[in-house]
Amino acid sequence: MGLIVQKFGGTSVGSVERIQHVANLIKQEVDNGHSVVVVVSAMGKSTDQLADLACEITPRPSPREMDMLLTTGEQVSIALLSMALHELGLDAVSLTGWQAGILTEGVHQNARILDIDEQKILRYVEEGKVVVVAGFQGITREGQITTLGRGGSDTTAVALAAALGADRCDIYTDVTGVFTADPRIVPTASQLKEISYDEMLELANLGAGVLHPRAVECAKNHQVKLTVRSSFEAVEGTEVKEEALMETGKVVHGVAHEDQVTKVTVKGLKNEIGTLARLFNLLAEYHINVDIIVNQNIQGQERTHISFSLDTQDLDKALQVLEEHKAQLDYEDVVFEREMAKVSIVGAGMISNPGVAAKMFQSLAEAGIEIKMVSTSEIKVSCVVPRKDMVKAVQALHSAFGLDRVAEKVSASN
Amino acid sequence: MGLIVQKFGGTSVGSVERIQHVANLIKQEVDNGHSVVVVVSAMGKSTDQLADLACEITPRPSPREMDMLLTTGEQVSIALLSMALHELGLDAVSLTGWQAGILTEGVHQNARILDIDEQKILRYVEEGKVVVVAGFQGITREGQITTLGRGGSDTTAVALAAALGADRCDIYTDVTGVFTADPRIVPTASQLKEISYDEMLELANLGAGVLHPRAVECAKNHQVKLTVRSSFEAVEGTEVKEEALMETGKVVHGVAHEDQVTKVTVKGLKNEIGTLARLFNLLAEYHINVDIIVNQNIQGQERTHISFSLDTQDLDKALQVLEEHKAQLDYEDVVFEREMAKVSIVGAGMISNPGVAAKMFQSLAEAGIEIKMVSTSEIKVSCVVPRKDMVKAVQALHSAFGLDRVAEKVSASN
């Protein structure tokens, strides 16, 4: 008899039939006696279609106007889903981001949620209504419409679950849960029953694509009980929680990949205290997300090179910012390598298992794959490799760390 | 050096190319040194497409959710138009109805504007920005999104022009101005250079379709200088003002028609004081717009019949309301005739010219057209006729009242 937040992504509401199906999934929870707050994304490819329209008009649309444009996508979804719920005899009301009191910072296209006025939703919940909230969007204190960036609807759902003190947050998507690797690339990948926030965070950041990283972070910070499940198949999903069940003998729980990676190297920077800070503060100021950073600082040398990886779509902006601040940063040259990919292994058990990184490098070397950059954390190791080798790399690692479903069975029967 | 409000309808912004063209029309006024506030409708058929989606889900969508759905149409337009203005080097900012401070009453799908917080727009005007406002939409005091009903973008434009004290309000549409009759029906129709608010009001109400009646009313009340002109052709439009130039010798300035008319007759109502009030108060309560009302009240009879015409799309709702209140209204039967049309002649000179109505009836009789209902005002006469005879009726009247362009020329040369 609790309060549940359900989130449905674009493919889950991609057509009138899908919306009607989603209405039925919501009705099941209402019939179980729960109060339900729903978060939806824009229908299927509608966001892309709107973005295409903008592109026809200008190659560099104003971020404010892009937010104005794109937020209509979710507004269409919430209206249609509410109508579908009415058809099932449920009392439902739709709310845009600003109507739901989702206050964000003023960064268009990539705003973070600052606060949620939960009373704006609770007053409807208390009236017995299903509240259908537009994901991905919010409003600034000045009344400007903002969006949360790609995958932002997940963040909306988790933030709402946290603000409302929801008992559960179910993220419905087009896959049945979190897998040991992308099943499209590794056919022997299997679904995880549970995963910890930290591992999920690494996987989300590493491009597993199932959940938006900020959503996982928010869930961890507020201890929101998160489930990833399918709106297409009525099967159990993957639970994301603080302490996930450790599968015996598995140090690595998943292999992730990301294919839009570019490596940038800024050459001949002054080798002095403050160089790194100056460079990355500048990029942050322009909202360029840098991923892996490598700086082999050789003591005594006057000039040093700093390499970093970023999403390929941010490359032009990054190059422009670097060019405009060349004098200030005092460097000699910038070079970049597109067509890179990042493959990563993730597992909470890694901390207590030395040699995991070494095993990864070994597997990649045996597969003849060149490693361009390396980054490690307590629970993951990432390598930037040429994109052409990405699939081979993921498969090799999945196998090397004993995640292959079939291989497992074979070895068990031996 | 004034402030101008420009309104562009759906066909005027029906494609990326059209939006770019509209941006150029706006730039011309800016280049002339004017401050410009723009009101736009949804792109082309997008409102209909959204309504179709709703229809696939439910035959009776909730009015609140329809407003939520349809207002996305204008939001797309304002964003794209602002981007197109940016491309031309203009500083532009888009505002939704609620961002522009357009406060309406709480009647979904047919709300009237209560107030406009003009400061929300003026602060951008003062920054030198072109402000692009979403037409057709507003917000209630409770923060609900509303729409102003069909053609509501005209009303938005005129109401903004009034609130901002604009020097001019230009309504750009797909015709070059107001004609003596619909040129698609009467090929000899000609464009009027000027027309008075009152005449335009009658024409607008009579289905001339060029301007929304509420917009004209608002323009008259606030003495907004209104021009109807084409966004497709750079020709002079029609000015709508208090006292329009009278064309010599013309009693009738235009012939209008409306083709979605149904005549309803409520039979056997108690013939007593308060019957009419009771019936039409009830219909008003359910927001059913009644047009012509006819009640031949024969003194001494216990029961009377009341006939009225309405838009055919309101028929089902009207019949339902009448049925549900049969006991309260105390009537015997309801009959209706669909497939009717209304033809009207309009002219400010009518007041001082007796026999105009008689001449109209005579023309229709000579054309063998049955008159079902009659309604007169100081500056118009309307007849409800079978829809099959509508075109014939309009042509006959246009000719009878000396409006035919060619005929005029012929008679002038004789």
Please provide the average confidence, as pLDDT, over all residues in chain A. Answer: 90
Interchain CB distance below 8 Å, A65 and B86: yes
H helical segments located in B233-313: 275-285
Domain residue limits at A12: 3-174
Measured between CA atoms, the residue of chain B closest to residue A47 is B76
Reported as half-sphere exposure (CB side, CA atoms, 13 A), residue A35 has a value of 17
Q: Is residue A98, in this structure, part of any structural domain at all?
A: yes
Average pLDDT over residues B191-206: 86
Q: Is residue A45, in this structure, part of any structural domain at all?
A: yes
Question: Which tokens belong to A354?
Answer: 């030395």
- What value of ipTM does the predicted structure carry? 0.79
A53 vs B contacts (CB less than 8 Å)? 16, 76, 80
Q: What is d(CA B13, CA B15) in angstroms, rounded to the nearest whole number?
A: 6
Q: What is d(CA A101, CA B144) in angstroms, rounded to the nearest whole number?
A: 13
- Of A303-307, B32-36, B101-105, the one with minimum mean pLDDT is A303-307
Nearest to B82 among A65, A75, A145 (CB): A65
Q: How confident is the model at residue B214 (pLDDT cuts 50, 70, 90)?
A: confident
Q: Is residue A310, in this structure, part of any structural domain at all?
A: no
Nearest to B57 among A69, A72, A80 (CB): A80
State the count of interchain CB pairs (< 8 A) between A and B: 104
- The alpha carbon dihedral of B307, B311, B316, B322 has a sign of negative
Question: Which tokens belong to A154?
Answer: 């997940």
B53 vs A contacts (CB less than 8 Å)? 16, 76, 80
Residues of B with CB under 8 A from a CB of A: 16, 19-20, 50, 53-54, 56-58, 61-62, 64-66, 68-69, 71-73, 75-76, 78-80, 82-84, 86-87, 93-94, 96, 98-99, 143, 145
Interchain CB distance below 8 Å, A80 and B93: no
> What would the pLDDT profile of A263-276 be if each residue is shown by its tens digit?
999 999 988 888 88
Antiparallel, parallel or unpaired: β A137-139 and A145-147? antiparallel
Looking at residue B103, what DSSP letter applies?
A: E
Q: What strand order describes the sheet that includes A130-134?
A: A92-95, A130-134, A35-40, A3-8, A168-173, A226-230, A238-241, A194-196
B42 vs A contacts (CB less than 8 Å)? none
Check pLDDT > 60 for residue A247: no
CATH number assigned to the domain comprising residue B11: 3.40.1160.10
Whole-prediction pTM: 0.81
Q: Is residue A231, in this structure, part of any structural domain at all?
A: no
Spell B23-53 as b/e; 16+ CB within 10 A means b: bebbbebbeeebbbbbbbbbbbebbeebeeb
| Cβ neighbour number for residue B340 with a 10 Å cutoff | 23
| Cβ neighbour number for residue A287 with a 10 Å cutoff | 14
Q: Is residue B50, in this structure, part of any structural domain at all?
A: yes
Cβ neighbours of residue A49 under 8 Å, at least 6 residues apart?
none
Measured CA distances, B123 to A64, B100, B120, B249 (Å) = 17, 11, 6, 49
Q: What is d(CA A243, CA A73) in angstroms, rounded to the nearest whole number?
A: 36
Nearest to A72 among B76, B86, B99 (CB): B76
Partners of A93 in beta bridges: A131
Interchain CB distance below 8 Å, B64 and A96: no
Interchain CB distance below 8 Å, B86 and A80: no
Distance from CA of A338 to the nearest CA of B (A): 30
Measured between CA atoms, the residue of chain A closest to residue B62 is A83
Average pLDDT over residues A191-213: 84
Check pLDDT > 60 for residue A370: yes
**In 3-state terms, what secondary structure has residue A148?**
coil
Q: Is residue A71, in this structure, part of any structural domain at all?
A: yes
Residue B173: φ, ψ to 5°: -145, -165
Distance from CA of B2 to the nearest CA of A (A): 26
Nearest to B57 among A19, A53, A93 (CB): A19
Check pLDDT > 80 for residue B412: no
The number of domains in chain B is 1
Q: How confident is the model at residue A277 (pLDDT cuts 50, 70, 90)?
A: confident
- Per DSSP (E only), the strands in B315-387 are 333-346, 373-377, 380-386
Q: Is residue B351, in this structure, part of any structural domain at all?
A: no
Interchain CB distance below 8 Å, A79 and B65: yes
Question: Which tokens belong to A400?
Answer: 């090397």
**pLDDT given at position B411:** 35
In terms of pLDDT, which residue wins out, A112 or A205? Answer: A112
Q: Is residue B207, in this structure, part of any structural domain at all?
A: no
State CA A357 to chain mean position distance.
24
Nearest to B83 among A61, A76, A99 (CB): A61
Length of chain B: 414
A90 vs B contacts (CB less than 8 Å)? none
Residues of A with CB under 8 A from a CB of B: 16, 19-20, 50, 53-54, 56-58, 61-62, 64-66, 68-69, 71-73, 75-76, 78-80, 82-84, 86-87, 93-94, 96, 98-99, 143, 145
Measured between CA atoms, the residue of chain B closest to residue A19 is B57
A97 vs B contacts (CB less than 8 Å)? none
Check pLDDT > 60 for residue A165: yes
> What would the pLDDT profile of B135-185 be if each residue is shown by its tens digit?
999 999 999 999 998 779 999 999 999 999 999 999 999 889 999 998 889
